[in-house]
Amino acid sequence: MTTLDAARLTTREINTRLRELQDGAHVTITDPRGRHNLAVGLMNKISITIDGNAGYYAGGLGDGPDITVNGFTGWGVGENLMSGTIRIKGSVSQSAAASAHGGIVIVEGDASLRAGISLKGGTLAIAGDAGNLTGFMAQAGTILIGGNAGEALGDSLYEATIYVAGDIENLGADAMRTDLTEDDVTAVKQLCAQVGFEHISPQEVTKVTSARRLYHFTTQHASAY
């Protein structure tokens, strides 16, 4: 087990050391003190624990590592994630998993606004509540919300799927509730098992998808704009 002390190393030194580790390595970053850009842009299959609260873009652009954050993260945790797992034990600030192409971001607390914005194929699982504009313009992938969703859920949604276990304050433009199929129930069940969420009843979630009126423009819909 390697330990990197953020109190003694610069962010660039930490990320360089992480990049040099062989696949299968385990490393702990201690005393992160809300530092931004920790463990970004890594392509090796290593296991990283950030032991405390992290700043912006933790684990962003990752294509391999599995990361656990023992605390809160700032904006954009797992932004542009390509593969791998990021598990946040606390709550997260805005734009979690923004534009994530693959991999999975697991939030054990709550997520603030715009979680899953422009999601491009990744998976975002939030145990608690999600703030306003969750799933804004999400193009592909899955968002699971174990608690309640805020305002304008799925605004301008493309082809991502959102499942909500709790209440939805309101839906955004062009988002709609869709009937739950057996495949959906199976997918939610598998995702809950994968991320360890035991408080969600897969048969009782609400599914939200795009009504496809905004991005398939026809003159008959002009009044909707």
Give the binding site for other proteins (CB under 8 A): 33-36, 52-56, 71-72, 74-75, 90-91, 93-94, 109-110, 112-113, 131-132, 151
* CB 74, min distance to other proteins, A: 6
* CB 109, min distance to other proteins, A: 8
* CB 113, min distance to other proteins, A: 5
* CB 90, min distance to other proteins, A: 6
For residue 162, which of 126, 128, 214 has the smallest C-alpha distance?
126
Q: Which one, 75 or 197, has the nearer CB to other proteins?
A: 75
Q: Which one, 104 or 152, has the nearer CB to other proteins?
A: 152
For residue 119, which of 76, 72, 85 has the smallest C-alpha distance?
76
CA dihedral over 63, 98, 144, 74, signed as positive or negative: positive
Q: Which one, 33 or 221, has the nearer CB to other proteins?
A: 33
Contacts for 212 with CB less than 8 Å, ≥ 6 apart: 174
- For tokens 């990361």, the residue is 67
Is residue 41 helix, strand or coil?
Answer: coil
Which residues in 159-176 are b (16+ Cβ under 10 Å) and which e?
A: ebbbbbbbebeebbebbe
Is residue 183 helix, strand or coil?
Answer: helix
Q: Which one, 90 or 166, has the nearer CB to other proteins?
A: 90
* Cα distance between residue 93 and residue 82, in whole Å: 20
Q: Which one, 74 or 154, has the nearer CB to other proteins?
A: 74
* CB 61, min distance to other proteins, A: 21
